[in-house]
């Protein structure tokens, strides 16, 4: 393995890491040599993911936390630091999309859930962890945003607002923590073949229209997002900070031809 992509001797926490993009990132970080903590609100899902990684030779611990609650997020941070003694890489990947439709039809509960899990939990977690990361000499934070946060949406407007907030959070934190050698970036995936995207990928008509607007004419794979997340945490990405990196097969730059 090239030293530019090595996480040997590093520690990492990934939220929303029991499936899809989060699990793929945990796998790549583990393969690169990092000690891994994965988190989800489901103890059963965490146990299954840890067992799956163990079968692949990757050691990980599970930290169960409900990211809707500030106290639970603080507890997650405390457990992580108690186990590792510090932290080198944080990936805030957990996300929800409880509302589909015009913004005017979103309930207060929809707003609260979407922004608590998608945005506020990342604020709480970085607030709790970055001082210790700075004391350890710095590190990397990756916030999982979305192309829904860089353009208008007919159905995913509320989700898009929260993801646009994550991209801005990456810029703000990059400025605040850069002098402590902490790099903060966002990744904005397009349609990736995950359970989360199945309402789109399982609908042939909708998927065909989306692929026609995507220059590469396919959906992405979780591993293709994970590879970028690895770069951002590794020495090869050491001069990248405050960016929102789009991984969408060209969807957002295509002209529909």
pTM of the entire predicted model: 0.96
Rounded distance between C-alpha atoms, residue 178 and residue 243, angstroms: 13
Quick one: residue 63, left, alpha or beta (phi over 0 = left, psi -120 to 50 = alpha)?
beta
Give 3-40 pLDDT, tens digit per residue. Answer: 999 999 999 999 999 999 999 999 999 999 999 999 99
The secondary structure element, H or E, covering residue 48 is helix 43-55
Residue % of the chain over a pLDDT of 70: 99
- Check residue 234 and give its pLDDT: 98
Judge whether residue 103 has pLDDT over 90.
Answer: yes
How would residue 198 be classed by pLDDT, with cut points 50, 70 and 90? confident
For residue 159, indicate whether it is catalytic: yes
Query: Which residue in the list 159, 177, 194, 234 is annotated as catalytic?
Result: 159
The secondary structure element, H or E, covering residue 11 is strand 11-15
Rounded distance between C-alpha atoms, residue 32 and residue 10, angstroms: 9
Integer angstrom CA distances of residue 203 from 78, 177, 189, 190, 209: 42, 43, 19, 16, 10
Judge whether residue 127 has pLDDT over 90.
Answer: yes
User: Residue 185: phi, psi to the nearest 5?
Assistant: -135, 160
Closest CA to 196 of 47, 55, 74, 95: 95
- Check residue 206 and give its pLDDT: 81
Rounded distance between C-alpha atoms, residue 76 and residue 124, angstroms: 10
Query: Distance from CA of residue 35 to its chain's centroid?
Result: 18
- Check residue 28 and give its pLDDT: 98
Q: Which residues contact residue 16 at a Cβ distance below 8 angstroms, ignoring those fewer than 6 apart?
A: 22, 39, 40, 93, 94, 95, 144
Assess contact for 165 and 122: CB atoms under 8 A.
no
Residue % of the chain over a pLDDT of 90: 89
What is the overall mean pLDDT for the chain?
95
Judge whether residue 205 has pLDDT over 90.
Answer: no
Taking residues 97-117, report their average pLDDT.
97
Domains of the chain: 3-246 (3.40.50.720)
Give 35-83 pLDDT, tens digit per residue. Answer: 999 999 999 999 999 999 999 999 999 999 999 999 999 999 999 999 9
- Check residue 13 and give its pLDDT: 98
Assess contact for 46 and 62: CB atoms under 8 A.
yes
- Check residue 224 and give its pLDDT: 98
How would residue 204 be classed by pLDDT, with cut points 50, 70 and 90? confident
- Check residue 210 and give its pLDDT: 83
């Amino acid at each position: 393995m090239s030293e530019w992509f090595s996480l040997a001797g590093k520690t990492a926490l990934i939220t929303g890491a029991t499936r899809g993009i989060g699990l793929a990132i945990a796998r790549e970080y583990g393969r690169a040599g990092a000690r891994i903590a994965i988190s989800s609100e489901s103890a059963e899902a965490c146990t299954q993911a840890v067992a799956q990684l163990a079968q692949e030779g990757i050691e990980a611990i599970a930290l169960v936390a409900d990211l809707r609650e500030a106290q639970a997020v603080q507890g997650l941070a405390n457990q992580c630091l108690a186990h590792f003694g510090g932290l080198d890489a944080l990936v805030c990947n957990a996300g929800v999309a409880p509302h589909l439709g015009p913004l005017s039809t979103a309930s207060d509960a929809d707003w609260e859930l979407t922004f608590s899990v998608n945005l506020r939990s990342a604020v709480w977690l970085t607030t709790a962890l970055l001082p210790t990361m700075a004391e350890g000499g710095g590190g990397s934070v990756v916030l999982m945003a979305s192309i829904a946060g860089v353009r208008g949406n007919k159905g995913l407007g509320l989700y898009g607002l929260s993801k646009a907030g994550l991209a801005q959070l990456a810029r703000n934190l990059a400025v605040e923590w850069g002098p402590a050698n902490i790099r903060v970036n966002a990744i904005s995936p397009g349609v990736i073949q995950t359970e989360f995207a199945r309402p789109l990928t399982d609908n042939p008509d909708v998927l065909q229209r989306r692929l026609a607007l995507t220059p590469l004419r396919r959906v992405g794979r979780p591993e293709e997002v994970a590879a970028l997340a690895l770069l951002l945490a590794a020495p090869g990405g050491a001069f990248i900070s405050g960016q929102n990196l789009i991984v969408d097969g060209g969807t957002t730059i295509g002209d529909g031809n």
